[in-house]
């Protein structure tokens, strides 16, 4: 009899080859299309108006000048702390004329609980002097002139424009910046981009109240750690805590 031909044993595929075959057969999960900002934005504005029909200004003040000083003090400080400090400051000086005659050290002794005391006290005294010398002791209702004052940045100037003079403005703080990104209303790259995006989505007559409503909602519901955000979850993030608005946007029809 003829001897049987020898057959080579079958080789098992290498682990890397098996993994590659497995990858080919797996289907990547499809992400939902991005939310339509033009559709989502009016719904969010309506929902916030239902939650916050009135929008009281958080910082206690008497006029445009005391509001300007209070907003300056609120940098890296809570509104509640500022409201505890300002009554004592107003007793000492509640006008540019009175404040301009004080030594910064005297102002600092009162505002120290707000943080950054040396810088803020110098800014308050110096801007008061400028208001007396250049604007007859009045706060100018002009964004560029406000931003030229010591210690007054873009956000502070916009808050004064909106809340003291009623001029449509959209100051973006940390809450607004966070929520605009979570709701897909802005790319969230920086606050100036967020401001431009929000101004393009909402009519100017809504800006002054809307920016306060977003702040209120961010403080009470869509907090930094208390909500994962609609966009993050829609794009494959976790499924932990979601606030009411984010929860609705996660399941928003596409």
What digits encode the pLDDT tens for the residues 76-121? 999 999 999 999 999 999 999 999 999 999 999 999 999 999 999 9
Q: Are residues 73 and 149 in the same domain?
A: yes
**Angstrom distance (rounded) from CA 44 to CA 214:** 9
Q: What is the mean pLDDT of the chain?
A: 90
Residue 10 counted as domain residue: no
| Residues 235-246: b if buried by 16+ CB within 10 A, e if exposed | eeeeeeebbebb
Q: Are residues 174 and 51 in the same domain?
A: yes
pLDDT tens digits, residue range 224-234? 998 989 988 88
Residue 105 counted as domain residue: yes
Among 138, 163, 188, give the residue marking a domain's end: 163
Could you tell me the two tokens for 248? 């609705």
Output the CA angle 204-205-210, nearest 5 degrees.
85
Among 121, 136, 163, give the residue marking a domain's end: 163
Q: Are residues 155 and 76 in the same domain?
A: yes
**Angstrom distance (rounded) from CA 110 to CA 131:** 22
Q: Which residues are the active-site residues?
A: 155, 173
Residue 24 counted as domain residue: no
Q: Are residues 153 and 85 in the same domain?
A: yes
Residue 15 counted as domain residue: no
Q: Are residues 175 and 107 in the same domain?
A: no
SS3 121: helix
Residues 6 or more apart from 48 whose CB is under 8 A from it?
210, 213, 214, 217
Q: Are residues 192 and 150 in the same domain?
A: no
Q: Are residues 101 and 151 in the same domain?
A: yes
Q: Are residues 41 and 69 in the same domain?
A: no
Q: Return the pLDDT at 235.
A: 79
Residue 5 counted as domain residue: no
**Angstrom distance (rounded) from CA 214 to CA 199:** 14
Q: Are residues 176 and 50 in the same domain?
A: yes
Q: Are residues 68 and 50 in the same domain?
A: no
The CATH number that applies at residue 143 is: 1.10.340.30
Residue 186 counted as domain residue: yes
Q: Which domain holds residue 127?
A: 64-163
pLDDT tens digits, residue range 198-210? 999 999 999 999 9
Q: Are residues 205 and 151 in the same domain?
A: no
Among 163, 184, 200, give the residue marking a domain's end: 163
Q: Return the pLDDT at 33.
A: 72
pLDDT tens digits, residue range 62-72? 999 999 999 99
Q: Are residues 117 and 202 in the same domain?
A: no
The CATH number that applies at residue 187 is: 1.10.1670.10
Residue 25 counted as domain residue: no
Number of domains in the chain: 2
Residue 78 counted as domain residue: yes
């Amino acid at each position: 009899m003829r001897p049987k031909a020898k057959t080579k044993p079958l080789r098992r595929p290498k682990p890397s080859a098996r993994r590659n075959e497995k990858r080919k057969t797996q289907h990547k999960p499809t992400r939902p299309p991005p939310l339509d900002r033009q559709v989502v934005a009016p719904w969010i504005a309506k929902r916030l108006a239902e939650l916050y029909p009135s929008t009281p200004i958080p910082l206690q003040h008497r006029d445009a000048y005391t509001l300007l000083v209070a907003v300056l003090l609120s940098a890296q400080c809570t509104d509640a702390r500022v409201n505890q400090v300002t009554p004592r400051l107003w007793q000492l000086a509640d006008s540019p004329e009175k404040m301009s005659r004080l030594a910064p050290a005297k102002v600092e002794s009162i505002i120290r609980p707000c943080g950054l005391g040396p810088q803020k006290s110098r800014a308050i005294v110096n801007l008061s002097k400028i208001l007396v010398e250049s604007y007859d002791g009045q706060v100018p209702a002009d964004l560029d002139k406000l931003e030229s004052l010591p210690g007054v940045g873009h956000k502070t100037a916009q808050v004064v424009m909106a809340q003291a003079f009623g001029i449509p403005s959209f100051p973006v703080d940390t809450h607004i910046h966070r929520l605009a990104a979570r709701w897909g209303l802005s790319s969230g790259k920086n606050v100036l981009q967020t401001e431009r995006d929000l101004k393009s989505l909402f009519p100017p007559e809504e800006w002054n109240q809307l920016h306060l409503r977003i702040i209120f909602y961010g403080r009470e519901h869509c907090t930094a750690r208390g909500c994962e955000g609609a966009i993050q979850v829609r794009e494959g993030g976790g499924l932990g805590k979601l606030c009411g608005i984010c929860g609705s946007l996660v399941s928003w029809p596409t």
